[in-house]
Chains A and B, each alone.
Chain A
C-alpha cells in the first residue's frame, strides 16, 4: 500500500480560514444533527396524523393516508430532494418562487421539509402497525366509557401504541439521520459533504472518511442509548 497516513491533518487549518479540518467536520456534524432533528419533528407529527388516518373508520381518511404513504415511499429520496429544491420553486407563483430561491440556508430548509415528508410516510406505517396491534377491545372500551373518537385515540390508543413502536421508531430516526447525507446533492454542508470537501482540499481521503465514520457511529450510539433510556422511563410500572 502506498497511502501515507497523516492524522495530524485534522488539526491543520482548513483553507476556509475559520479553524481546523476537525472544526470543519464538527460543523458538518452540527448541520447533520440539526437537519435530522428538524425533519424528525415534521416526520413524527405528520406521520402520526397519517398513521391515525389509516386506522380511522372513515374510507376517505384511509384513502388519503394510503395515497400519501405510497406516493412518498415509491419515489427515491434523491428524486424527492430534487423536486423540492429545483422543481417546487418553479411551480409556485413567480414572486414567491423567486423569494424561496433567494432564501438564506435554502438547502437546509429544503432538506428538512423533504426528509420530514419522506420519513413521515415511514412513521405513519409504524404508527398504523402500532395501533393495529392493540386488541380491538381497547377502542371498544373507550367508546363504551363515553369517550369520543379523538379522546379514545388521545387517552387510550396512542399512549399504548407509541410505547409499542418505540424500537422501530428509533431505527426510523436513525434512518432519517443517515438520509440527511443525501442533502449534500443540493448543497447542504452536512457531515458527508464536509468529509468530501476535506478530502478534496487535503488529499487525505481516508483520514477524512474515517473521522466522518466515527462521528456517525458516535451519534448512532448516543441515539440508541437515549432511546433505551426513554424506553425505560416510559415503561408502564408493573407492565411486562
Chain B
C-alpha cells in the first residue's frame, strides 16, 4: 500500500537517474530530433519535387516507417546495422555497432518520416505567390527554398515540430528493449536491484509527466504568440 512507500530508494538513486539516465534520454532526443528534422525536410522537398521516381521513393519510405511499430523498427536496425556497416565500409564480415549508435540511427530515420509529413504540410502552407515571386526576382530553386519558403514553413510548423519532439522524448523510453540506460532504463535497473518497483516506476512516471506537461504548456504559449504576430 501507499503508506509503505520507501522514498529513500528514490533519493539515493537520484544522481544515477538524472546524471546518467536523463542525460542519455535528452542527448538521444536532441540528436535524433535535429537529425530527423534535417532528413525529414530533405524528404519533404524530395516528395514535393515532382521528379517521378524520387517522389515515389520518398513517399514509400515515409509510409513504410509510419506503418510499422517503433519497437519492430528498433529491432530491425539493431540487427541490420552491422550488415549495412559492413556493406558501407566494404568489410568482409558484419561490423560492431554499439546499441547507442544503433538507437540513434533508428530514431533519426524513424522521426525523419514523421518530420517529413509535418514539413510537407509546412511547405504547402506557404502561399504559391511567395515562391513565384522569389523565382521572378531571379532566385534559383535552392535560394527560393532556403531564403523564402523554408523559413516560413519552419515558423508555421514550429508548434507541431516541438510537439513531435515531446512525443520523441517519450518514445526514447523504448530503448529499454535494447537494455540501454535511458531515464526509464536507469529507474528500471534500480527498481529490479532493490526490489522497489512501485517507488521507482511511480517516480519515473512523475518525472516524465512533469517534463512533458511543462514542455507542452510552453508549446501552447508559443503557439498563441505566433498566432498573434501573424
Q: Which residues of A contact B (CB under 8 A)?
A: 1-3, 70-71, 73-80, 82-83, 86-87, 90-91, 174, 178-182, 184-185, 191-192, 195-196, 199, 205-206, 209, 212-213, 216-217, 220
Contacts and interface: CB of A to CB of B under 8 A. Distances in A.
Interface residues on B, range: 35 or more
B79 A75 contact: no
B64, B72, B197 — most chain A CB neighbours (10 Å) = B72
B75 A76 contact: no
A1 B170 CA distance: 35
8 tightest A-B contacts by CB? A181-B69, A74-B212, A76-B170, A178-B69, A181-B71, A76-B173, A205-B79, A86-B197
B205 A75 contact: yes
B68 A182 contact: no
Contacts of B86: 1-2
A209 B67 contact: no
Contacts of A83: 201-202, 205
B198 interface: yes
Nearest to A72: B209
A87 B177 contact: no
A209 B198 contact: no
B100 interface: no
Contacts of A220: 67
B137 interface: no
A179 B198 contact: no
7 contacts: A2-B86, A79-B184, A79-B208, A87-B201, A90-B197, A181-B70, A216-B69
B202 A1 contact: no
Nearest to A76: B170
Nearest to A183: B71
Contacts of A76: 170-171, 173, 184, 208
B184 A78 contact: yes
Contacts of B208: 74-76, 79
Interface in B41-71: 64, 67-71
Nearest to A180: B69
Contacts of B93: 2
A222 to B, nearest CB: 12
Contact of B197 (A70, A80, A87, A213): A87
B18 interface: no
Interface in B199-223: 201-202, 204-205, 208-209, 212-213, 216
Given A74-B208, A213-B68, A216-B67, A192 B213 contact: no
B72 A91 contact: no
A87 B201 CA distance: 7
A93 to B, nearest CB: 8
A71 B75 contact: no
A71 to B, nearest CB: 7
Nearest to A192: B72
Interface string B70-98: 11100110011001001100001110000
A80 B184 CA distance: 11
B173 A78 contact: yes
B174 interface: yes
Contact of B177 (A178, A184, A212, A213): A184
A79 B174 contact: no
Given A80-B205, A91-B198, A192-B75, A75 B212 contact: yes
Given A1-B83, A76-B173, A178 B205 contact: no
Contacts of B174: 78, 182
Contacts of A73: 212, 216
B176 interface: yes
Contacts of A184: 71, 177
Nearest to B199: A87
